Amino acid sequence: MYKIGGIGIFVALVLFGLFALYAWGLDAFHWLRKERWETAPLAKTAIERTPLEERQRLRIDRIRFYSEQMQSPRFCLVLVPKTDQPVDEVFILSHGWFDRPEFLLKYLKVDQVYERLLGEGKVRPALVVMPDVRFPDYFRRNRDRYPFPQYLTLVAEEVVGAVSREYGVPVRRDKWSLGGFSFGGYLSLDIGRRYSGRFHSVSVVSSFAEEDWTYWPKTAGPPGFLDAQGRGRQTVVDPGPMPKLFLACGTGDRMFGKMVELHEKFTKLGIPHIWSTGPGGHTWNYWSTVLEPMLRFHLGS
């Protein structure tokens, strides 16, 4: 039998590490790079829809719109179910900090899982919208100076407005929900506490919350530092009832302690929520185990 010596094993491990680093580097480059179509000129009032792929039960679109908040065109990927009746419900699913919307299809297979659930009759037909939520790192490193982050206006107002206008979905609370993984979960929770009059359910996976955040208080607390438009860390834009909440995290995730704290805080405050946990880390593999329960939480038939 052929045996590999200690040096051979060491070389193999080094080669494997280099290959993994190379693969990560390709994704990192893809995350940072702007595709040519992303930077193409777009009129401020225009919405550009590009069909990307046809499936048996759904179509994958890409829509571009001009963001006044970001002062540039932005885009979303949209899973559009094929139905006899107009689709009038939307679930916004946001990616992590070092990801792109395309990664939700490449690694999480959101399109395949959603299409299967549609075929099995386990979810209602809805638009699944995956927005581009990449932001300059400057704002994250200096978030104390920006108490009303860019993602709030981009997702809760501009993405909602573009999707509503393009697909004819009314902006009614019972028609909209949102959630996300890692940073996508963070922004979903922040939007959910400030725009609860616009979203009926929120899911947060492998993420965290700021210690000073308040959640659907009966009376507003101290606003704290305000920006030039008079908005602070507790500013509520569209008040409404408490949304349904789904929290999940793998026990091996570096965010697990933070998610446990959020779960315990909600429990102490008497905020109803679903808490799901299991083996896994801050990885696509763990998130793939949560995706189906997440979709069924928001869109279950």
pLDDT tens across 174-184, in order?
Answer: 999 999 999 99
pLDDT at 1: 46
User: Quick check: pTM over 0.85?
Assistant: yes
CA distance 36 to 25: 20
Q: Are strands 58-67 and 90-94 parallel, antiparallel or unpaired?
A: unpaired
pLDDT at 221: 74
What value does the mean pLDDT take over residues 121-141?
90
Average of per-residue pLDDT values in the chain = 90
pLDDT at 24: 43
Q: Is the pLDDT of residue 12 over 70?
A: no
Which pLDDT band, with edges at 50, 70 and 90, does 161 fall under? very high
What value does the mean pLDDT take over residues 278-292?
98
Closest CA to 126 of 87, 162, 171, 160: 87
Q: Is the pLDDT of residue 218 over 90?
A: no
Q: Is the pLDDT of residue 60 over 80?
A: yes
The alpha carbon dihedral of 275, 278, 281, 283 has a sign of negative
pLDDT at 31: 56
Q: What is the layout of strands, in order, in the sheet containing 201-205?
A: 47-54, 58-67, 72-81, 127-131, 90-94, 176-181, 201-205, 244-250, 274-278
pLDDT at 268: 97
Which pLDDT band, with edges at 50, 70 and 90, does 134 fall under? very high
Identify the architecture of domain 42-299 in CATH. Answer: 3-Layer(aba) Sandwich (3.40)
Q: Produce one character per residue of 234-262: b if its CB has 16 or more CB atoms within 10 Å, e if not.
A: bbebeeeeebbbbbbbbeebebbebbeeb
pLDDT at 2: 45
CA distance 166 to 155: 15
CA distance 136 to 153: 15
pLDDT at 178: 98
Residue-wise pLDDT for 13-40, tens only, equals 445 444 444 444 545 555 568 899 999 9
CA distance 301 to 297: 9
Paired with 55 in beta bridges are none
Q: Where are the domains of the chain?
A: 1-33, 42-299
Residue-wise pLDDT for 164-202, tens only, equals 999 999 999 999 999 999 999 999 999 999 999 999 999
